[in-house]
Chain A
Amino acid sequence: MTATMKSGVATRRLPPQEGEVIDRGAALTFSWAGHSHRAYRGDTIVSALLAAGVTVFSRGFKYHRPRGVLSASSLDPGCLLQVGDEPNVRGAHRRVEPGMEVHPQNVWPSLRYDVKSANQLVGRFLGAGFYYKTFMKPERLWPAYEQVLKRFATGGRVSAHSPHGYYDKRYAHPDVLVAGGGPAGMAAAVAAADAGAGVLLVEEEYELGGHLRWGDATERVALAELRAAVGAHPGIEVLTNSVVTGRYDDNWVAVLQRRHPDVTGGGFGPAGSRVQERLVKARAGALVVAPGLVERPYVFDGNDRPGVMLSTAARRLVNLWAVKPGDRAVVFTANAAGDAAVTDLQRVGVDVARVVDARRGGDVVSAIGGRNGAVAAVELADGTKVDCDLLVTAVGWTAPTSLLNMSGDKPLYEPRAARFLPGGRLPDTVYVTGGIAGDGSLDELVAHARAIGAAAAAGEGSRAAGAPTLGVDAHPALFKGRTHGMVDFSEDISSKDLVAAAKEGYDSIELMKRYTTVTMGPSQGKLETVNAVAVLSEATGRTIGETGTTVWRPPYTPISLGAHGGRILEPVRYSPMQPWHEAHGARPLIAGQWIRPDHYGNPEAEVRNVRHAVGIIDVTPLGKLDLRGPDVPKLLNLLYVNKWSKLAIGGVRYGVMCAEDGVVMDDGVTGHLDEDHYFMSTTTSGAATVWEWMENWLQTERPDWQVHVTPVSTAFASVNIAGPRSRELLGRLCTDVELGGEDFPYMNVRKGTIAGVPGCYMWRIGFTGELSYEIHVPASYGLHVWESLLRAGEDLGVDAFGVEAQRVMRLEKGHFIVSQDTDGLTKASGAGLDWLVKLDKDDFAGKPELVWQQGERYQRLVGLQPVDPSVVPPESSLIVRGESDIVGRITSSRRSPTLGRAICLGFVAPELASAGTTVTVLLPDKRRIPARVMEHHAHFDPEGVRLRG
């Protein structure tokens, strides 16, 4: 056979065939390895190239032997190709699109002159466990080994510049989901839909029909009837070019709808964009597994040469794409599929030189290579050699039991049929039909499928008595011939490698798989698992049933990362003041779901403005909870470590919550607004957790308490007005509350009207360390109040400040931030909260641990200042002692514009925690700098004169 790489002439295209799927009226042009080729619409990349005389599509993973077509389906291990910037495209499945640029993978420098094929000569050094044995010692060479292994690794090229495709997700709730659109799947779908069920019928190929598509005239008639019945039924939704990739608990079924150039984004994604892939998450009432059977390759010398292919491959090529797979053929057959291949080949003018019938003792020994490594002759068991360029094998079937395994079944080996059958341990909502369930005539299979479909629709249960069954036909057990050959075509694992591995002691199938990597390549065992099991059982003298198989886990086929990621559905939250922030150059800060202004260009200037005049910051994302009921004080006493019983109306208190393990969970302030009415603030990130924590106590431990919790975080817009002139500013907009220091002292709350908006809460608290008021206004008035504040305070020098300035000021003031200055191990005592914890309270969350913490010596949170004021250690820098002793870490670090020096908070070992101690901070650049432990957390105004003013 001539392997023409350049010719665009369709040398192997047959005259029109009855069942062909190509549209001869629609010619396309694409390129292969830089040369232009023609195809028809409906051609796969591989069928179009075969028609043009190309026979080699890749080279083997390890030995770089040339590889051609084996199965002519998506599983074909030799047909992984690079299409544009997309690697590992299944070339025997993907259809040609106009202008496609296709290249071979794993070849260097080219498909025809592959340097690494020299591996064939050193093949005996690349046996089982080769990588483990060769690249282990000495360790100092590991970086060099990595380079070697990378060069040998298979796979295509990924590009960092690929345009973002549009990937979609969908949820579906079919009553019955049918996996597999062959005759059984179609019949089951129709029967289920006839019974009133909503049916999702999923087929991996581009059309329904399964093996009927490459069948004879009778089968084509049956195909037309079944397709018409499916098409006519409004209760059936058909997904083609789609794969059921997994079945999970309660029939949660993942379906990958593959790239389809005809499907648009449906209004989602960039305008007019095509859906690359769509992941359908289906909750199916019943799952009908009808994947049919996969034809199994035969293991013998030379079985991976181009020109050796399965009977289904030959029949698909002839009947679906009208491609002549060779000129002179030998057919090795053990069943009706092989016999039909003989008929098909003869019909289209292939010279069938010899039919070797396994049922009469025939066997093939070796496929002898010719030019370019392709098959040139076959040596038979009787010693004869037959010249040929095509060797077709039909030695039996593998049951693709993935969905059964994923459903909890353990398929059983049936020696009479030489394949695995369902093991009878399926859940009641999972049904099996078609070839995977048993054998029969087309009529028998369809009848079985109809009964199964009806039972699935009715929810009768797959284990119900009287469930329909299929018989099983005898089939010769043919796995490996009398010579060694390739078992795993993806990973280049031969039967010789497996025998060697068994001799080395890797004699269980799971161990052998991991040691040799057999079945771990792109086809994931669908072609080779049973052959691997058979070779192992022969080597160990056990039966196939005793040897067992590896477990088939999801996904059934590879799923792209794009499909996994899908459409971004993560909500994004903005405060009502966002339009103003955007118009004033706010730099966004992502804080969980919230987008907040980090600063407006100059955070240091924002700090100075607050310290000297007045600033306002949007603190809407603060968690806010409205608490009502007579038992609120009890709840506060239970959740916070400090006391709440005596908080008068109008008072505000700071509180810290600990979990039951004594670890700091959240902090915030709570105000007593009115009789039985409190208002709690939490950290932004803790809002949901705290609410959940409260509900936990109220619903499970204290159901008799009368407390109602309402989350109001987004019902109010919140603004902190901070700075020496904040009282004057708020006073200009609020006329019904006395703001004077005696009427409205520090740590108090009032309700009043601001900028004409009634029902606003005002708290006098001070995270920044300045005189400040935190106001909560109905969210719809947030922007109005914000802009009113800026207008009213123009002459006072008011300006907005962002999160960065606030973080600097709270650090100057020594206020810690839960989850920045604490982590999942920070005990209240270590955070310096002993003064707050009231152990004389009866009971509260975490109390026992807090009692036991007394006297324990934890790392303590302290204020720190680098001796060199100009060095600002990055956060997370370690505090060390000696060479490698880690004795603490920096949790917060900034340059203070107020003090003109670096300031930090950090944890240090207890013996280093006393004021005046000098510790060593290790910077990421390996420099070690001294820093002094301070007396207070606060670097600025530790007495709090400013905020109490």
Chain B
Amino acid sequence: MIRIPCPFCGPRNSNEFAYKGESKRRPDPATATAEEWRAYLYDHDNPEGWVREGWYHRAGCRRYLKVERHTLTNEVRSAEPAVGA
């Protein structure tokens, strides 16, 4: 089990967190086409390499975090509050 270095709680087992998927910008609902909106909902890049993704410290500080993780090695190189992510 990987650990997430929570900026508020320190390194914690990932099963304390809810995985929220790749970080994406929410399209402007006023102008988004159906294709854009559904790409936002369902399409994931899933690259081999570094990804920015959301984790919610559900069983801890209950902060949403922005985490950089390598999908091949599971190395986590940063975890920050997700404000405005």
Contact = CB atoms under 8 A, between A and B. Distances in A.
Interface of A: 248-250, 252, 283, 408, 660-661, 692, 695-696, 699-701, 703, 842-843, 847-849, 852
Interface in B32-74: 32, 34, 37, 40-41, 54, 56, 58, 62-64, 73-74
Q: 6 smallest A-B Cβ distances: which pairs?
A: A249-B2, A699-B64, A252-B1, A703-B83, A848-B29, A848-B37
B41 A699 contact: no
Contacts of B20: 696
A696 B74 contact: no
A249 B56 contact: no
A700 B83 contact: yes
A290 B73 CA distance: 24
Given A843-B30, A848-B34, A700 B54 contact: yes
Contacts, number: 51
B2 A250 contact: yes
B44 to A, nearest CB: 15
A696 B56 contact: yes
Contacts of A249: 1-3, 74
B1 A692 contact: no
Nearest to A171: B13
A661 B81 CA distance: 26
A700 B84 contact: yes
Contacts of A849: 37
A807 B31 CA distance: 42
23 contacts: A248-B1, A249-B1, A249-B3, A250-B2, A250-B3, A252-B13, A283-B3, A660-B40, A661-B41, A695-B62, A696-B20, A699-B64, A699-B81, A700-B54, A700-B82, A700-B83, A700-B85, A701-B26, A703-B84, A842-B30, A848-B37, A849-B37, A852-B34
B26 A696 contact: no
A842 B30 CA distance: 8
Given A249-B74, A700-B82, A692 B54 contact: no
Contacts of A843: 29-30
A118 to B, nearest CB: 50
Contacts of B41: 660-661
Contacts of B54: 700
B81 to A, nearest CB: 7
B64 A696 contact: yes
Contacts of A248: 1
Nearest to B66: A700
B34 A692 contact: no
A428 to B, nearest CB: 11
Nearest to A688: B58
A849 B73 CA distance: 37
Contacts of B84: 700, 703
Contact of B32 (A692, A695, A848): A848
B30 A692 contact: no
Contact of A847 (B18, B29, B40): B29
A700 B21 CA distance: 14
Contacts of A661: 41
Contacts of A660: 26, 40-41
Contact of A250 (B1, B56, B58, B85): B1
Contacts of A848: 29, 32, 34, 37
Contacts of B62: 695
B8 to A, nearest CB: 12
A842 B61 CA distance: 32
Given A248-B1, A408-B73, A696-B56, 6 more contacts: A250-B74, A252-B1, A699-B64, A700-B83, A703-B84, A848-B34
A701 B84 CA distance: 6
A852 B38 CA distance: 12
Nearest to B2: A249
A699 B63 contact: yes
Contacts of B29: 843, 847-848
B65 to A, nearest CB: 9
A661 B3 CA distance: 31
B20 to A, nearest CB: 8
Contacts of B3: 249-250, 283
**Residue among A249, A692, A843, A848 with the most chain B CB within 10 A?**
A848
Nearest to A852: B34
**Residue among B3, B34, B64 with the most chain A CB within 10 A?**
B64
Nearest to A711: B62
A699 B82 contact: yes
B76 to A, nearest CB: 9
**Residue among B29, B37, B54 with the most chain A CB within 10 A?**
B29
**Residue among A660, A696, A700, A843 with the most chain B CB within 10 A?**
A700
A871 to B, nearest CB: 41
A852 to B, nearest CB: 6
Contacts of B85: 700
B2 A692 contact: no
Nearest to A709: B62
Interface string B1-32: 11100000000010000101000001001101
